[in-house]
Structure 1
Amino acid sequence: MQDALVERLSAPVPRYTSYPTAPHFDESVGPDAYAGWLAALGSANRLSLYAHIPYCDRLCWFCACHTKHTLRYEPVEAYLKGLHAEIASVGARVSRAASVTALHFGGGSPTMLRPDDLVALKDCLERYFAFSPEAEISVEMDPNDLDDARHDALAAIGMTRASLGIQDFDPKVQKAINRIQTFEQTRGVVEAARARGVRSVNCDVLYGLPYQTLETMAETVRAVISLAPDRIALFGYAHVPWMKKHQSMIAEAALPGIVARFEQMSMAAEMLVSVGYEAIGIDHFALPADRLAVSAREGTLRRNFQGYTDDRADALIGLGASSIGQLPQGYIQNMPATGEYLRRVEEGGLAVVRGYALTEEDRARAWVIERVMCDFGFSLADLAKRHPAFSAVIRGEAGRFVATDRDGLATLESERFVLTQAGRPLARTVAATFDAHLASGRGRHSIAV
């Protein structure tokens, strides 16, 4: 029965790290609009910064990030010059009274930067933005890049959270996705980070990879648990070769089917919960004392382009090629092509090429979808208080979903729309009920499980 349900309801839907989702951004929002949005940020606003490094010294075939492979450092040096220029251009438009409470270095592979370049990048950010003394600084790390000098540089920039990509420890799986990384190597990185005072470690694990089985998945999860990370992200591999051509290197015949993916996910989740991790949303786990777990319990969990977060900033400023920002007025995205990105910022301008200005209906639906993804439900009374103009319409959609729901995915209880235990793994599918843009057909998405 469950297998049939999973098969039937796992149609491709967005991951809902934003609403509306990126396929609905367009050129109507450009540099001029973005400049105005930045200027409107003031002392009442907390900022989160995202700095994108779109280079890797090896290309993992499973990856869906905006990145490119290089064995030479010269392109990275040229890119960093442009990134510094963008930081100056954006920073000049933002009030110094706005405090930075979070900084995330993403990629690509930020840890492929030379130690002095990493420190110089953080110095540049501090020159143009006012950092809170308690700012969280997280870095995506590839264990293959790291040595003592880079570990020292990460400590020098004040890294508070190390985020390690693991994916899978099975050698056959690693070979199939071109990501060779031993357990011993990974453990060494965790130990080096903790020895330098890093107080939070996150590990990314993937299910649905080629040649994965329940047995190999269990071995990987046990190995990850032995590292005692504070957080674990358990993502489903998104096979989107029409978007990322290098994924065509993965043999589709070796990929587990939808039911097998669901079984892998369920087994891994049960293993993590059994040893004390708390389930957060659809794909994160955290130890009870971790801020992500505390945020989930308090009902303040958020979702942005990095996934689930306890970041309560009012605006996310994206820096670097292809990066996406989220401001009170809407979303922006920078030019993805690094050459054109560099031309724009080195001429002193902003690199924005598209975006989306939110309507009041978008804000209402964004709040509902975020609560479904974070809390597995929402209060109809809170909806009415926050978004009275669209409360009746969305209430009607919630009622119709429950009335026609033959699978028992959600209920209406005491003025709350609530996902059942059966519905929680399919939260993306349920959230799509409230997506007014999905029917436009823009964009292709990964499967829901």
Structure 2
Amino acid sequence: MHKDLVQRHAGPAPRYTSYPTAPHFHGGVDAATYGRWLRALKPGQTLSLYVHIPYCDRLCWFCGCTTKQTLRYDPLTSYLAALKHEIDTISDLVDPGCRVTALHLGGGSPTMLKPEDMIALSDLLRSRFDFAADAEISVEMDPNDLDGPRYDALAEIGLTRASIGVQDFDEKVQKAINRLQSFEQTREVIEQVRARGVKSVNCDVLYGLPYQTRESVHRTLEQVLSFRPDRIALFGYAHVPWMKTHQKMIPDEALPDVTERFAQMNHAAAQVTAAGYAAIGIDHFALPDDSLAIAAASGTMRRNFQGYTVDSADALIGLGASSIGQTTEGYVQNVAATAEYQRRVNEGRLATERGFELRLEDRVRGRVIELLMCDFAFSFAELTQEFGRDANEVIEEAIKLAETGNDGLVELTDGIFQLTEKGRPFVRTVASAFDTYLQTGKARHSLAV
């Protein structure tokens, strides 16, 4: 692809795991607001729970998560005690007729938890909420944390999907990002969870890291493909040192430029699809019989704060410091500072610090952006069927965008606005054309490829 085209359309843009995006959340949505939204949930509605564990025993310099390093377990003990208070407070607000269909433990490093604490947390959640028998239980894993008792604990809590961070197996790259993790160590994790009945394994791989080349990414993916994971997430490294100061440890001059990043992305995508994986959205791949591949093919895939998902729950409840939740009314986010989070929930209060209440126009634009990110297209007729005349403004914008040509990235055929094959890698940039908030804030974003 022409270098000028890449440089024109691969500039900074949001990842669009929500609309509006998190930088536009504000303090006008507070604990009282969230309490009303939780009480509005009706019997029979479904819930997805996200539990954030904001601690790691090492700090990876590439990481964009809200986490902190600790070599002591005491901070986790006090954090888990506070988390129990938040679970109690929220479960008292939610109608007991709501059913949990998914639980995700994220971080940070949830696998830092002692086995008995992992089991106690699961037992507490199941005692406070009604879990569906087939609820999906997924956990983000750091292979450096894991041992036999932790594998057994993961099996006991009903783990159904293991998400394993690989990033890159090249030693030079690993040293540059402070993430030492061998191929053998990673293989052992996958073998152990599969031996305990886990049917789905996801591996995260990054491109755009310091000292990476197309050849080094290719070698890493060869090794990852030898595991035959059910899903592969191929993320572009988001270099945002103005937000995550530890990323300043990564020398700017070691990072590939946008043209090389684009080449790494394309080369890696071709390698994974050649191995029999279905390409999904902008950065996911799955075996054809995986639920995510099936959802993508049927047009039922969704996008939320965990990325592409089959999770169709009516509400996402975020638990823990900095965690984000979503109901039909809008988004909420807990305070990020762990000390303040613990103070609030230990007092029996919600930890909500900010959020966003959705207007009708936000719902229309959010749906269009989600469809573009998931399906690379949206239908004018279906949008009108869902939103009536309120869809007209966005449809007119789509028509104008298609008429401009936009370097051949989009086309309009029989009332279907869609990205061309050339345009798909730049879907974040195209989606941003429908984002009325993008130019109103001071947020800075990572590169769009």
TM score, norm. by length of structure 2: 0.99
Q: After superposition, what is the alpha-carbon deviation per residue over 1:306-342, rounded to whole angstroms, capped at 9, x for unaligned?
A: 0000111111000000000011100000010000000
Name the amino acid aligned to 1:309: T
Give the superposition deviation at 1:406.
Answer: 3.9
Taking the aligned partners of 1:399 and 1:359, their CA distance within structure 2 comes to 23
Give the superposition deviation at 1:389.
Answer: 3.2
Aligned length: 449
Q: Give the aligned partner of residue 395 of structure 2.
A: 395
Give the superposition deviation at 1:273.
Answer: 0.4
Give the superposition deviation at 1:11.
Answer: 1.4
Q: Give the aligned partner of residue 129 of structure 1.
A: 129
Q: Give the aligned partner of residue 197 of structure 2.
A: 197
Taking the aligned partners of 2:90 and 2:144, their CA distance within structure 1 comes to 33
Q: Give the aligned partner of residue 235 of structure 2.
A: 235
- Are 1:290 and 2:290 counterparts? yes
Q: Give the aligned partner of residue 150 of structure 1.
A: 150
Taking the aligned partners of 2:119 and 2:44, their CA distance within structure 1 comes to 29
Q: After superposition, what is the alpha-carbon deviation per residue over 1:381-420, rounded to whole angstroms, capped at 9, x for unaligned?
A: 0111111232221111101111112410011111100110
Name the amino acid aligned to 1:89: T
Give the superposition deviation at 1:43.
Answer: 1.9
Taking the aligned partners of 1:33 and 1:389, their CA distance within structure 2 comes to 29
Q: Give the aligned partner of residue 23 of structure 1.
A: 23
Q: Give the aligned partner of residue 53 of structure 2.
A: 53
Taking the aligned partners of 2:79 and 2:306, their CA distance within structure 1 comes to 22
2:311 is paired with a residue whose SS is coil
Q: Give the aligned partner of residue 102 of structure 1.
A: 102
* Kept in 1: contact 2:50–2:105 (CA 8 A): yes
Give the superposition deviation at 1:42.
Answer: 1.8
Name the amino acid aligned to 2:378: F
Matched ranges for 1:333-412 at <5 A: 333-412=333-412
Taking the aligned partners of 1:439 and 1:395, their CA distance within structure 2 comes to 20
Taking the aligned partners of 1:303 and 1:413, their CA distance within structure 2 comes to 25
Q: Give the aligned partner of residue 309 of structure 2.
A: 309
Give the superposition deviation at 1:246.
Answer: 0.2
Name the amino acid aligned to 2:404: T
Give the superposition deviation at 1:127.
Answer: 1.2
* Kept in 1: contact 2:37–2:327 (CA 8 A): yes
Taking the aligned partners of 1:127 and 1:156, their CA distance within structure 2 comes to 15
2:246 is paired with a residue whose SS is helix
Q: Give the aligned partner of residue 176 of structure 2.
A: 176
Taking the aligned partners of 2:157 and 2:42, their CA distance within structure 1 comes to 25
* Kept in 2: contact 1:13–1:447 (CA 8 A): yes
- Are 1:66 and 2:70 counterparts? no
2:180 is paired with a residue whose SS is coil
* Kept in 1: contact 2:24–2:441 (CA 8 A): no
Name the amino acid aligned to 1:285: F
Q: Give the aligned partner of residue 432 of structure 2.
A: 432
Unpaired runs of 5+ in structure 2? none
* Kept in 2: contact 1:204–1:234 (CA 8 A): yes
Q: Give the aligned partner of residue 84 of structure 1.
A: 84
Taking the aligned partners of 1:427 and 1:75, their CA distance within structure 2 comes to 41
* Kept in 1: contact 2:23–2:441 (CA 8 A): no
1:41 is paired with a residue whose SS is coil
Taking the aligned partners of 1:445 and 1:387, their CA distance within structure 2 comes to 30
Taking the aligned partners of 1:216 and 1:11, their CA distance within structure 2 comes to 24
* Kept in 2: contact 1:168–1:205 (CA 8 A): yes
1:13 is paired with a residue whose SS is coil
* Kept in 2: contact 1:29–1:356 (CA 8 A): yes
Taking the aligned partners of 2:3 and 2:77, their CA distance within structure 1 comes to 50
Taking the aligned partners of 1:126 and 1:446, their CA distance within structure 2 comes to 38
Taking the aligned partners of 2:239 and 2:39, their CA distance within structure 1 comes to 39
2:66 is paired with a residue whose SS is coil
1:19 is paired with a residue whose SS is coil
* Kept in 1: contact 2:48–2:102 (CA 8 A): yes
* Kept in 1: contact 2:211–2:254 (CA 8 A): yes
* Kept in 2: contact 1:202–1:231 (CA 8 A): yes
- What is the aligned-residue identity percentage? 60
Taking the aligned partners of 1:441 and 1:334, their CA distance within structure 2 comes to 20
Q: Give the aligned partner of residue 162 of structure 2.
A: 162
Taking the aligned partners of 1:213 and 1:24, their CA distance within structure 2 comes to 35
Taking the aligned partners of 1:273 and 1:406, their CA distance within structure 2 comes to 28
Q: Give the aligned partner of residue 141 of structure 2.
A: 141
Taking the aligned partners of 1:30 and 1:350, their CA distance within structure 2 comes to 9
State the 4+ residue runs in structure 1 displaced beyond 6 angstroms. none
Taking the aligned partners of 2:433 and 2:141, their CA distance within structure 1 comes to 36
Taking the aligned partners of 2:44 and 2:13, their CA distance within structure 1 comes to 35
Taking the aligned partners of 1:440 and 1:30, their CA distance within structure 2 comes to 22
Unpaired runs of 5+ in structure 1? none
Q: Give the aligned partner of residue 42 of structure 1.
A: 42
Taking the aligned partners of 2:2 and 2:30, their CA distance within structure 1 comes to 46
Q: After superposition, what is the alpha-carbon deviation per residue over 1:258-304, rounded to whole angstroms, capped at 9, x for unaligned?
A: 01000100001000100110000000000000000000011001000
Superposition RMSD in Å: 0.7
TM score, norm. by length of structure 1: 0.99
Q: Give the aligned partner of residue 251 of structure 1.
A: 251
